[in-house]
Amino acid sequence: MALLPILRFPDPRLKKVAAPVAKIDDSIRRLVADMAETMYEAPGIGLAATQVDVHKRVVVIDISEEKNQLRAFVNPVIEQCVGAQLGEEGCLSVPGIYDKVERAEQVKVRYLDLDGKEQVLEADGLLAVCIQHEIDHLDGKVFVDHLSQLKQSRIKSKLAKQARVTA
């Protein structure tokens, strides 16, 4: 297993659209293991392959308290959205920034598991938010893209300033 470096907004590589996985093999299972280790270490409740500069449609999520309910989604597609919820979001690629984003309250997602078997999951609440946030990453979007242009430019200055202090 390995910890992978996480890209930081506004890195242009976060805008790449990830390609579907053609075959689930050991390289994909290794990627999932490395992404899980990276997510737990961060710590975060989700991670998309895009964030570690791998442009394949792979996501890991664990919203459990005990951090013992890892979920892996390959080629996830949202088939149905119901309702709306407004929740505070953060992102490992946008450290220290939190803001409210409107998402569907419930989603039905179709994906492949690590055995290449098709699965369907109905999720609501935080899991639904996280699935939508991660699929956005695979489509080259970060949660700040849902905010106003003014907020986006403030976030960019704040992160640039942080980077100067940290350097």
Interaction site with ligand GNR (CB under 6 A): 44-48, 51, 89-93, 129-130, 133-134, 137
Q: Which does 76 bind (CB under 5 to 8 A by kind): Ni ion, ligand GNR, none?
A: none
x/- mask, Ni ion, residues 105-144, rule CB under 5 A, reads ----------------------------------------
Cβ(143)–Cβ(134) below 8 Å: no
The listed partner (Ni ion, ligand GNR, none) that binds 75, CB under 5 to 8 Å by sort, is none
Q: Which does 45 bind (CB under 5 to 8 A by kind): Ni ion, ligand GNR, none?
A: ligand GNR
Examine the residue annotation and report whether 79 is marked as an active-site residue of this protein: no
Which two three-digit tokens encode residue 144? 């700040």
> Which of Ni ion, ligand GNR, none binds 127 (CB below 5-8 Å, type-dependent)?
none
* Residue with Cβ nearer ligand GNR (22 or 72): 72
**Residues 64, 154: Cα–Cα separation, whole Å:** 32
49 contributes a contact to Ni ion by CB under 5 A = no
- CB atoms near residue 104 (< 10 Å): 19
Query: Judged by CB, which is closer to Ni ion: 24, or 159?
Result: 159
Cβ at position 84, least distance to ligand GNR in Å: 15
The SS3 call for residue 125 is: helix
What is the DSSP code (8-state) at residue 22?
S
What phi, psi does 50 have (nearest 5°)?
A: -50, -40
Q: Which residues inside 78-97 make contact with Ni ion, applying CB under 5 A?
A: 91
CB 157 within 8 A of CB 29: no
| Angle formed at CA 57 by CA 163 and CA 47, multiple of 5 degrees | 40
- Give the residue closest to ligand GNR by C-beta: 44
At 120, phi and psi to the nearest 5? Answer: -125, 135
Number of Cβ atoms within 10 Å of the Cβ of 115 = 8
Q: Which residues bind Ni ion (CB under 5 A)?
A: 91
Catalytic positions, written as ranges = 134
